[in-house]
């Protein structure tokens, strides 16, 4: 078979193949979306259980003493690092 | 005197030919890459050793009656070994990232363009004197772009067994080279701003969804592409054993003992195809070049698809880097995406997001192999 005819076949295969792969995986997307809709949702850990374990007052804010300790540690590290580089 | 002469003619020294010696050197080269450089050692150690054994003169290990001949005949000619490996890979794969964000399947589809473009390229190579690839040969070579060793070996054994050695070596070598091949392409095709895109956190996936997923994939394959059922079917079986949670013993065997034993013999059988007369040809060079082209085109088309999807993504943006993971090569390609993403933004961990297109790529290349089998086989 001459190369031109083979090339035409290859081009045809390229087109058919890519269309085939996209169509198949697109159907799979729809199937997975359908699956997620009908399957039982994932068990979420109830938010209340987490709250009871942590401190009720300091959920969002870092306590001042922690902040002070952290910044002291950072400045100490920076000092040491700076000196060691010298 | 006759006795001495007969003894001499039975030695390796008297029978060693230059091509066989060159192939033994190739085998040693593969062993060096595996042991010293850590390139896909699980496969390249048995392949390299198999190549040495095959080219030992007089012993005839790969000739009818020899051990490697039977290993090849039983395991690869029948198509059994790659399928057993696929079952193990299925049992090792977690589809959560893909189920949580099914759009990623499109990236796995886009990256398969590397396969089909290379098919065209392989036929184009016929214009160069010395190359005579048929459509079957070209399809088997092109599947290197799927970046999936078992799929490449399976398809090559069906379509073009005489090129199997070179195709398997190219596929596994390039899979090991993913961290070198992909990043420059990814950086070239994306802007700094795009690489910085943070993707929203994936939702949790229920056990029921994970169990139904392999069954759903199998049903679709059965309906639309039965030619891909050997690969997809074994993959889904492995995955169902893992996710169902009721056959942990079988799932563990598939993930460990079965995949390990099969890997040893698969490597040896591929090595048995590295005989001098089959490997030392100009076609092998063509296959190595085409393999690199296939990988690069696959990576590029994945990234382009991700860029396009990002344009229409709305409130859940897609980092175009994750498109590169569409070329299978689990989990190496996803790790590369994560690494390139972290270079731009040290707080942007893309690993889980890249696992979606990565496992989609496994499915995509299996589907592409099924299409090639159906149309060319």
Of A17, A28, A35, the CB nearest to B371: A17
HSE of A59 in the Cβ direction (CA atoms, 13 Å)? 8
Of A14, A22, A39, the CB nearest to B208: A39
Beta carbons of B213 and A10 less than 8 Å apart: no
Binding-face residues of B in 222-251 toward A, CB within 8 A: 224-225
Closest CA to B213 of B105, B326, B80, B330: B105
Tell whether B206 is within 8 A of chain A (Cβ): yes
Tokens 């994306």, residue? B190
Tell whether A42 is within 8 A of chain B (Cβ): yes
Q: What is the pLDDT of residues B178-215, one digit of tens each?
A: 999 999 999 999 999 999 999 999 999 999 999 999 99
Q: Chain A residues with CB inside 8 Å of B367's CB?
A: 20-21, 24-25
Binding-face residues of B in 297-356 toward A, CB within 8 A: none
Closest CA to B277 of B65, B20, B14, B10: B20
Closest CA to B368 of B67, B115, B187, B89: B115
Question: Exposed, middle or buried: residue B122 (CB in 10 Å: 0-12, 13-18, 19+)?
Answer: buried
Confidence of residue B226 (pLDDT cuts 50, 70, 90): very high
Binding-face residues of B in 93-152 toward A, CB within 8 A: 98-99, 102-103, 105-106, 108-109, 112-113, 115-117, 119-120, 122-124, 126-127, 134-135, 138-139
Beta carbons of A3 and B212 less than 8 Å apart: no
Lowest mean pLDDT among A59-63, B108-112, B295-299, B319-323: A59-63
Tell whether B377 is within 8 A of chain A (Cβ): no
Beta carbons of A35 and B209 less than 8 Å apart: yes
Q: What is the pLDDT of residues B113-122, one digit of tens each?
A: 999 999 999 9
Q: What is the pLDDT of residues B236-255, one digit of tens each?
A: 999 999 999 999 999 999 99
Cα–Cα separations (whole angstroms), residue B84 to B132, B215, B236: 32, 18, 12
Q: Round to whole Å and give the CA distance between A12 and A44.
A: 49
Closest CA to B133 of A13, A8, A6, A4: A6
pTM reported for the whole predicted model: 0.86
ipTM of the prediction: 0.91
Cα–Cα separations (whole angstroms), residue B109 to A33, B347, B357: 17, 29, 9
């Amino acid at each position: 078979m001459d190369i031109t005819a083979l090339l035409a076949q290859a081009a045809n295969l390229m087109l058919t193949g890519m269309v085939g792969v996209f169509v198949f995986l697109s159907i799979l997307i729809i199937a997975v979306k359908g699956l997620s809709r009908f399957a039982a949702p994932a068990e979420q850990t109830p938010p209340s259980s987490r709250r009871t374990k942590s401190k009720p007052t300091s959920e969002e804010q870092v306590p001042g003493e922690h902040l002070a300790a952290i910044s002291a540690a950072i400045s100490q590290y920076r000092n040491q690092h700076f000196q060691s580089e010298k | 005197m006759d006795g001495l002469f007969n003894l001499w003619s039975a030695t390796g020294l008297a029978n060693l030919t230059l091509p066989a010696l060159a192939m033994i050197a190739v085998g040693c080269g593969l062993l060096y890459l595996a042991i010293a450089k850590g390139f896909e050692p699980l496969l390249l150690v048995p392949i390299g050793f198999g190549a040495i054994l095959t080219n030992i003169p007089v012993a005839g290990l790969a000739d009818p009656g020899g051990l490697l001949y039977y290993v090849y005949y039983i395991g690869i000619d029948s198509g059994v070994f790659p399928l057993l490996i696929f079952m193990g890979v299925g049992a090792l794969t977690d589809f959560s990232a893909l189920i949580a964000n099914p759009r990623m399947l499109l990236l796995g589809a886009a990256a398969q363009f590397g396969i089909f473009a290379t098919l065209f390229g392989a036929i184009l190579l016929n214009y160069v004197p010395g190359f005579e690839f048929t459509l079957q040969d070209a399809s088997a070579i092109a599947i290197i772009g799927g970046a999936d060793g078992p799929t490449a070996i399976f398809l090559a054994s069906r379509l073009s067994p005489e090129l199997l050695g070179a195709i398997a070596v190219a596929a596994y070598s390039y899979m090991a080279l993913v961290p070198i091949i992909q990043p420059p392409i990814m950086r070239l095709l994306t802007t700094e701003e795009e690489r910085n895109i943070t993707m929203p956190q994936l939702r949790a996936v229920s056990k029921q969804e994970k169990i139904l997923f392999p069954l759903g994939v199998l049903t679709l394959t059965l309906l639309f592409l039965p030619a891909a059922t050997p690969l997809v079917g074994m993959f889904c079986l492995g995955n169902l054993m893992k996710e169902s949670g009721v056959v942990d013993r079988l799932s563990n065997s598939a993930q460990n003992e079965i995949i390990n034993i099969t890997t040893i013999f698969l490597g040896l059988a591929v090595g048995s195809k590295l005989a001098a007369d089959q490997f030392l040809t100009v076609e092998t060079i063509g296959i190595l070049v085409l393999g690199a082209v296939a990988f690069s085109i696959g990576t590029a088309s994945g990234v382009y698809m991700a860029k396009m999807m990002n344009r229409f993504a709305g409130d859940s943006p897609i980092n175009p880097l994750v498109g590169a993971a569409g070329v299978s090569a689990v989990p190496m390609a996803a790790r590369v995406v994560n690494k390139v993403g972290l270079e731009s933004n040290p707080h942007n961990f893309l690993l889980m997001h890249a696992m979606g297109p990565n496992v989609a790529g496994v499915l995509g290349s299996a589907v592409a192999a099924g299409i090639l089998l159906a149309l060319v086989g």
